[in-house]
């Protein structure tokens, strides 16, 4: 889903909560040491395009740029070790 972000002041941050669920049951994933992980992102980016890709024991999570004219520009990339329960900002 594509949508425009509201005009927001630079530097504002919010927390995105990623809930790790089992695809087959819809319940919290039993192998996740922490079933809910928090990622701090800019408020503007949180209202834009984001996506995630599961790569084995990791999730690559990226958030789109807040500039609506540059909707394909990446703002931040996070590596999430979903079994171990940690997140790391890559870019």
State the residue range of the domain holding 65. Answer: 13-89
**Residue for token digits 């084995």?**
56
Q: What percent of the chain has pLDDT over 90?
A: 37
Is 49 a member of any domain? yes
Is 2 a member of any domain? no
pTM: 0.70
Provide the domain count of the chain. Answer: 1
Calculate the alpha carbon distances from 76 to 38, 59, 87, 89 in Å: 14, 14, 13, 7
What's the confidence (pLDDT) of residue 49? 72
- 41 pLDDT tier (thresholds 50, 70, 90): confident
Mean pLDDT score, 49-59: 89
Is 52 a member of any domain? yes
As given in the structure block, the two tokens for residue 57 are 């024991």
């Amino acid at each position: 889903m594509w949508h425009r972000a509201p005009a927001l002041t630079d530097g504002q941050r919010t927390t995105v909560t990623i809930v790790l669920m089992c695809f087959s049951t819809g319940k919290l994933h039993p192998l996740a040491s922490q079933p809910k992980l928090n990622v701090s992102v800019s408020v503007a980016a949180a209202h834009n395009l984001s996506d995630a890709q599961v790569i084995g024991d990791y999730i690559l999570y990226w958030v789109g740029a807040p500039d609506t004219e540059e909707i394909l520009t990446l703002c931040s990339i996070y590596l999430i070790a979903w079994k171990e329960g940690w997140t790391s900002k890559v870019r």
